[in-house]
Amino acid sequence: MNRLHNLFQQKNARILSVYFTAGFPQLNDTREILRQLQAHHVDMVEIGIPFSDPMADGVV
């Protein structure tokens, strides 16, 4: 069993999931944000990885 499956089996209501972008607002803030989320009993964390896709902007 994986951790997500176990989480949903054990806690079927009020699961707190948080999304944030790595390196925002400052590059070195990511670890402290994760520590604070853990200290406040967040159940799941999704970390977004910033990227640039010039092709998505269309013709330059």
In a domain, 54, yes or no: no
In a domain, 20, yes or no: yes
Q: Using the predicted structure, report yes or no on whether residue 1 has a pLDDT greater than 70.
A: no
In a domain, 17, yes or no: yes
In a domain, 56, yes or no: no
Tell me the two tokens of residue 23: 């390196």
| Per-residue model confidence as pLDDT tens digits over 12-54 | 789 999 999 999 999 899 999 999 999 999 999 999 988 777 7
Q: Using the predicted structure, report yes or no on whether residue 11 has a pLDDT greater than 90.
A: no
Q: Which residues are catalytic?
A: 46, 57
Read off the pLDDT band of 4 (50, 70, 90).
confident
Q: Is the peptide bond before 25 cis (omega within 30 degrees of 0)?
A: yes
- Residues with Cβ < 8 Å from 37, sequence gap 6 or more? 18, 45
